[in-house]
């Protein structure tokens, strides 16, 4: 299994290296779909230049990276291309190992269930075989590394790649059952961009499942585990934040990074929902809608955790998707991360309802982004509404994709309990509906 992965890594690195050398890299680095004000490499360089001039990079409104990132690139700015390729490779390998481990567990669980005769008889075709599961980890790595979104993001040197690497390491350490590392990487991811905070729910569920701690509010062991995890998470977050304070000697970065993420002052167009909405917002409603939109990102955590408490990895996927759709400055790099999980759910394909339509819309939108951008910004023959319409459609497609997978997942679970070919009372073939 190592050989194909190595080959894949080689191919991915070659593609990236070739693009870095070509004239396309500058073009890509300017694309608003690929870089946001939070992740643009140009702004990292600007922050370093400001430091060289003796000005705090957070005194202006151009630089919004965290102090650790600027400290990192203070040393490796000359090797930035290698750093970003390395980040992608780390993400891919981490996801590969994580999914491999997860598949093993899924298989083991299925075996127990089969031995206990828990599945209805007609569900045999829903049972997953080791043969089909064998290539899934490799496919996940491939989906991440060869996804054009990831490649663009890497070639543009968007720091989104680094955030993805941290999240992938968090997923790996969670699935491997390492509580401490999981908490540390989660705090790092939170520190980088607040939103991964919602991933603590699936992490807790997964780790408890692994340690056979029942999810029961009345059990002391449940609370004790939560306190342990929270302590590790908050402790490492505290350490990182203090470290950042000592690196630059001021708290300026807090409003400049987190205030910037939450209050959305920069309305540079991107593929998200925020920019045009807040450009056109009436001033006195601005704060209200800002709260509504930001709460929206965090809001789904609790109901999803309740519904999916037996399936924390699917919950991670759902959370990543929700974050990347509803976050304030999304880029295609964020989308690439949750798209990498699609091969893991390849057994759901028979229940997907509109995957063909959704993938067509996603492809068409991806192609239309640069076209309408050109028409608006350069040709002047279209206006902002055109680009905005495409972002809307793109987001609708993403939402449909995610809810479709969610639907398929729930439906498969239902069939595994009640049988695949359900009959009505009168014996005719029944149709399943949500009620």
Partner 1 sequence: MAAYRYGYSAVLFILCGLSVFLVTNGQETILTGDDGAAAVDSPQTVTETAEQTAEQPAVEERQWEVTEVEEASPDEAAADKQDASAPETLVPPSVPRPKDDFQEELVIRPLHSGDIYASFQFRTLWETDFMRGNKVSHYRLFPKSLGQVISKFSVRELHISFTQGYWRTMQWGQPFLPAPPGAELWVWFQDSVTDVDGTWKELTNVLSGIFCASLNFIDSTNTVQPSASFKPLGISNVTDHRFLRYATLPREIVCTENLTPWKKLLPCGTKAGLAVLLKSEKLFHSSFHSQAVHIRPVCEDWQCKTTSWELRQTLSVVFDLHTSGQGKREWSLFKMFSRTLTDACPLASSSKVYIDITDNPEGEQFELIPATPLLSQAVVLGDRRTFSVYDLTQQITFGAVRSLNLLIRWKSTEGDMLRPLLHGERYVAGYGLQTGEIHTLMYNNHPYRSFPVLLLDSVPWYLRLYIHTLTVTSKAKDNKPSYIHYQPSKDRVRPHLLEMLVQLPPNSVTEVTVQFERALLKWTEYTPDPNHGFYVGSSVLSSLVPSIVAMDTNSTQERPLFSSFFPCKEESSYFVRVYTEPLLVNLPTPDFSMPYNVICLTCTVVAVGYGSLYNLLTRSFQIEEPSLGLAKRIANIIRKMRGVPPL
Pick 22 or 59: Cβ nearer partner 1: 59
Pick 131 or 435: Cβ nearer partner 1: 435
Return the residue of 233, 278, 317, 329 that touches partner 1, per CB under 8 A.
278
Does 329 contact partner 1 by CB under 8 A?
no
User: Helices 136-145 & 80-115, crossing angle to 10 degrees?
Assistant: 150
Return the residue of 17, 62, 72, 368 that touches partner 1, per CB under 8 A.
62
Does 268 contact partner 1 by CB under 8 A?
yes
Q: Can you give 162-227 as a three-state secondary structure string? A: HHHHHHHHHHHHHHCCCHHHHHHHHHHHHHHHCHHHHHHHHHHHHHHHHCCCCCCCCCHHHHHHHH
Instruction: Name the CA dihedral angle for 285, 287, 292, 295, rounded to a multiple of 10 degrees.
Output: 180
Does 82 contact partner 1 by CB under 8 A?
no
Return the residue of 266, 319, 332, 336 that touches partner 1, per CB under 8 A.
266
Cα separation, 393 vs 369, whole angstroms: 11
Residue 231 C-beta: closest distance to partner 1, Å: 30
CB 136 within 8 Å of CB 344: yes
Does 345 contact partner 1 by CB under 8 A?
no
Does 269 contact partner 1 by CB under 8 A?
yes
H-run or E-run covering 239: helix 220-248
Judged by CB under 8 A, the number of residues near partner 1 is 64
DSSP assignment of 323-357 equals: HHHHSSS--HHHHHHHHTTGGGGGGGGGG-SSHHH
Return the residue of 273, 315, 337, 339 that touches partner 1, per CB under 8 A.
273
Return the residue of 135, 252, 403, 420 that touches partner 1, per CB under 8 A.
403
Return the residue of 117, 220, 424, 427 that touches partner 1, per CB under 8 A.
424
Give 429's strand partners: 423
- Collect all residues with Cβ–Cβ distance below 8 Å to 236 and sequence separation of at least 6: 183, 184, 187, 188
Does 80 contact partner 1 by CB under 8 A?
no
Return the residue of 29, 384, 416, 420 that touches partner 1, per CB under 8 A.
384
Does 359 contact partner 1 by CB under 8 A?
no
Binding range to partner 1, per CB under 8 A, among 15-23, 41-49, 65-73, 108-116: 41-49
Q: Which of 163, 102, 149, 147 is nearest to 128 (CA)?
A: 102
Does 7 contact partner 1 by CB under 8 A?
no
Cα separation, 433 vs 435, whole angstroms: 6
Binding range to partner 1, per CB under 8 A, among 77-85, 147-155, 180-188, 407-415: 407-415
Cα separation, 105 vs 111, whole angstroms: 10
Pick 230 or 302: Cβ nearer partner 1: 302
Cα radius of gyration (the chain): 23
Does 326 contact partner 1 by CB under 8 A?
yes
Return the residue of 60, 214, 259, 370 that touches partner 1, per CB under 8 A.
60
Does 362 contact partner 1 by CB under 8 A?
no
Does 420 contact partner 1 by CB under 8 A?
no
Cα separation, 136 vs 99, whole angstroms: 8
Residue 356 C-beta: closest distance to partner 1, Å: 18
Q: Kindly report the CA angle at 102 between 159 and 194, in degrees rounded to 5?
A: 30
Binding range to partner 1, per CB under 8 A, among 59-67, 101-109, 217-225, 363-371: 59-67
Pick 218 or 425: Cβ nearer partner 1: 425
Q: Which of 391, 381, 423 is nearest to 326 (CA)?
A: 391
Return the residue of 128, 176, 210, 307 that touches partner 1, per CB under 8 A.
307
Cα separation, 164 vs 304, whole angstroms: 22
Return the residue of 53, 116, 121, 220 that touches partner 1, per CB under 8 A.
53
Residue 399 C-beta: closest distance to partner 1, Å: 4
Distances (CA, A) of 268 to 148, 274, 330, 408: 23, 10, 11, 36
- Site residues (CB under 8 A) for partner 1? 30, 32, 42, 45-46, 48-50, 53, 55, 59-62, 265-269, 273, 275-283, 293, 296, 300, 303-304, 307, 325-326, 376-378, 383-385, 388, 392, 395-396, 399-400, 403, 406-407, 410-411, 414, 422, 424-425, 430-435
């Amino acid at each position: 299994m190592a050989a194909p992965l190595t080959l894949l890594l080689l191919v991915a690195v070659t593609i990236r290296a070739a693009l870095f050398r070509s004239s396309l890299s500058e073009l890509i680095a300017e694309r608003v779909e690929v870089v946001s004000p939070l992740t643009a490499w140009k702004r990292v360089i600007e922050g370093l230049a400001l430091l060289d001039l003796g000005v705090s990079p957070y005194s202006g409104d151009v630089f919004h990276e965290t102090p650790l990132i600027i400290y990192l690139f203070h040393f490796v700015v000359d090797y930035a291309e290698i750093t970003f390729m390395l980040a992608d490779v780390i993400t891919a390998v981490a996801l590969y190992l994580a999914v491999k481990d997860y598949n093993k567990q899924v298989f083991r669980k299925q075996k127990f269930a089969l031995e206990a005769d828990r599945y209805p008889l007609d569900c045999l075709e829903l049972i997953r075989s080791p043969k089909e599961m064998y290539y899934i980890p490799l496919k996940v790595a491939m989906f991440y590394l060869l996804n054009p979104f990831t490649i663009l993001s890497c070639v543009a040197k968007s720091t989104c790649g680094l955030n993805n690497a941290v999240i992938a390491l968090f997923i790996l350490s969670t699935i491997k059952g390492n509580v401490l590392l999981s908490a540390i990487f989660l705090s790092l991811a939170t520190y980088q961009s607040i939103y991964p905070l919602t991933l603590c729910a699936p992490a807790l569920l997964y780790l408890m499942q692994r340690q056979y701690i029942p999810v029961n509010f009345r059990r002391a062991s449940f609370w004790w585990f939560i306190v342990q995890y929270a302590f590790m998470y908050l402790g490492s977050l505290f350490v990182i934040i203090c470290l950042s304070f000592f690196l630059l000697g001021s708290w300026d970065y807090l409003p400049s990074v987190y205030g910037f993420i939450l209050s959305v002052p920069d309305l540079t167009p991107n593929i998200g929902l925020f920019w045009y909405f807040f450009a056109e917002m009436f001033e006195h409603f601005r704060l209200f809608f800002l709260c509504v939109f930001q709460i929206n990102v965090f809001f789904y955590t609790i109901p999803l955790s309740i519904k999916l408490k037996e399936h924390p990895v699917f919950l991670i996927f759902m959370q990543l998707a929700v974050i990347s759709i509803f976050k304030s400055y999304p880029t295609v790099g964020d989308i690439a991360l949750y798209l990498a999980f699609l091969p893991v759910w390849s057994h759901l394909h028979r229940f997907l309802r509109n995957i063909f339509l959704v993938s067509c819309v996603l492809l068409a939108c991806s192609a239309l982004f640069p076209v309408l951008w050109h028409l608006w910004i350069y040709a002047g023959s279209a206006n902002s509404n055109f680009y905005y319409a495409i972002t809307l459609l793109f987001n609708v497609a993403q939402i449909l994709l995610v809810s479709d997978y969610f639907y398929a997942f729930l439906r498969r679970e239902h069939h595994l309990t009640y049988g695949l070919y359900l009959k009505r009372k009168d014996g005719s073939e029944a149709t399943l509906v949500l009620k």
